[in-house]
């Protein structure tokens, strides 16, 4: 059973008022006048009740305007429930509200990238799985306690086998949602038994995967026609792999995200050795340096780069790296039954669009570009850049200093 809410919006902000009506998803109809269809035996009665609740809110808005009071969300809520100070906020289902929040807030409000909405959807699914098991699908504000937090994190780790970074991504979005619900203007002014600052976001520092300069050079020079001839059953073509390799190399020398990489074309302003464009994710103006490898790829495709789905791109760049021989063993950590398990996988299995950004950042730092300048190019803080996007070479400065201190010349 799913609750039906009345949506009220004011100045680009939304609030959801419960009607007290519950139906199954197949009994719902996207009609603001008659939200319940004939599959429900009492659909006429429920539609009248829903209309009554909607009319109450409309009347409150009119009354406020007659009194020359701006009908903000807070003002409407206060007026609507002034005769019921113990409003049913405590009975609202946070799982259902998260679903509504994604559909009516994240998808419609500017600034939410598709990947962010996708991550919110994952958070919703994981929370629903957990509450279905522990709370019969209903999570009240009064149940947001440290026990809930600890049990939910344990569920993600043990039952779902997620690592700290995966768990952290879900907890981070859950905290953001709960803070909106606690806001009297954006949400409902909910009060939780625990201070949300006590909900820490698990995070584990992991080795930054990138292609070193020798590996990148090998990838640039790889003859896929020759390598594919050794695999006659391969479903990949030389053209597909060439295009994927060129896109990856372009990103390694420009620092562009995949969402921007797929947009490069003649419509962008090319001034000498610089491409100017707006970042798809942040909307910030970008100045992309056209280094010689970038210029060569632009000219190869007449300044319109190939287009392909991100999933296809990530799948094919792994094949490109495997055929190049980028197969150094990399230790990986997973979880099973809450226990950390370590294994080694060939490096090519870990290469994706994101690794091109790490490659760009690491090579730029190795060549003497200041970290703060690299951070501006890729749109990150210096702290985030150094912790998540800069790889450590096999014999980096720290290792060389230690060997030298103990008399070992490497």
200-253 residue pLDDT tens: 998 877 778 899 999 999 999 999 999 999 988 888 999 999 999 999 999 999
- Residue 34 three-state SS: coil
Q: Return mean pLDDT, the chain.
A: 86
What is the structure's pLDDT at 85?
Answer: 46
Distance, CA of 359 to CA of 255 (rounded, Å) = 8
Other beta carbons within 10 angstroms of residue 110's beta carbon come to 6
pLDDT at residue 84 greater than cutoff 60? no
Nearest to 93 by CA among 139, 144, 148: 139
Assigned token pair, 366:
């190795």
Distance, CA of 117 to CA of 94 (rounded, Å) = 17
| CA–CA distances in Å: residue 172 to residues 196, 200, 201, 305, 402 | 11, 8, 6, 35, 38
Instruction: Decide: 16 and 47 in contact? Cβ < 8 Å.
Output: no
What is the structure's pLDDT at 111?
Answer: 54
Angle, alpha carbons 166-167-173 (nearest 5°): 95
Between these two residues, 159 and 178, which has the higher pLDDT value? 178
Distance, CA of 251 to CA of 356 (rounded, Å) = 6
Assigned token pair, 184:
């009297």
Distance, CA of 121 to CA of 77 (rounded, Å) = 28
Paired strand residues for 274 = 271, 289
Instruction: Decide: 374 and 361 in contact? Cβ < 8 Å.
Output: yes
Q: How many Å separate Cα 262 from the centre of its chain?
A: 19
What is the structure's pLDDT at 178?
Answer: 95
Q: What is the DSSP letter of 207?
A: P
Assigned token pair, 340:
């950390």
Distance, CA of 282 to CA of 213 (rounded, Å) = 29
| CA–CA distances in Å: residue 199 to residues 98, 162, 174 | 18, 18, 10
What is the structure's pLDDT at 268?
Answer: 64
Going 118 to 124 to 126 to 129, the CA torsion angle's sign is: negative
């Amino acid at each position: 059973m799913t609750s039906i809410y009345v949506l009220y919006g004011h100045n680009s902000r939304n609030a959801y008022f419960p009607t007290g009506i519950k139906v199954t998803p197949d009994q719902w109809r996207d009609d603001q006048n008659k939200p319940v269809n004939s599959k429900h035996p009492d659909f006429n009665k429920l539609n009248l009740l829903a209309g009554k609740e909607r009319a109450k809110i409309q009347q409150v808005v009119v009354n406020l305007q007659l009194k020359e009071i701006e009908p903000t969300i807070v003002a409407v809520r206060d007026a609507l429930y002034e005769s019921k100070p113990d409003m049913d906020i405590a009975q609202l289902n946070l799982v259902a509200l998260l679903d509504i929040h994604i559909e009516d807030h994240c998808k419609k409000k500017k600034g939410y990238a598709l990947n962010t909405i996708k991550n919110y959807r994952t958070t919703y699914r994981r929370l629903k799985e957990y509450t279905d098991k522990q709370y019969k699908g209903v999570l009240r504000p009064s149940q947001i306690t440290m026990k809930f937090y600890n049990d939910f994190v344990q569920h993600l780790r043990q039952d779902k086998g997620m690592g700290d970074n995966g768990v952290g991504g879900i907890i981070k979005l859950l905290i953001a949602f709960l803070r909106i619900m606690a806001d009297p203007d954006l949400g409902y002014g909910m009060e939780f038994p625990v201070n949300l600052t006590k909900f820490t976001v698990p995070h584990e520092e992991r080795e930054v995967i990138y292609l070193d300069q020798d590996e990148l050079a090998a990838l640039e020079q790889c003859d896929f026609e020759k390598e594919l001839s050794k695999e006659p059953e391969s479903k990949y073509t030389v053209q597909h792999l060439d295009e994927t390799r060129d896109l990856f190399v372009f990103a390694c020398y420009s620092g562009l995200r995949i969402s921007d990489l797929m947009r490069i074309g003649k419509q962008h302003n090319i001034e000498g050795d610089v491409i100017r464009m707006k970042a798809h994710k942040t909307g910030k103006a970008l100045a992309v340096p056209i280094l010689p490898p970038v210029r060569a790829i632009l000219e190869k495709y007449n300044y319109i780069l190939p287009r392909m789905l991100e999933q296809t791109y990530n799948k094919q760049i792994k094949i490109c790296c495997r055929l190049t021989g980028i197969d150094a063993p990399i230790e990986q950590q997973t979880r099973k039954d809450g226990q950390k398990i370590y294994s080694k996988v060939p490096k090519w299995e870990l290469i994706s669009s994101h690794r091109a950004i790490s490659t760009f950042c690491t090579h730029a730092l190795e060549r003497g570009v200041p970290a703060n300048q690299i951070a501006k190019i890729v749109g990150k803080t210096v702290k985030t850049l150094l912790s998540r996007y800069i790889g450590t070479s096999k014999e980096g400065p720290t290792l060389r200093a230690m060997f030298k201190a103990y008399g070992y010349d490497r």
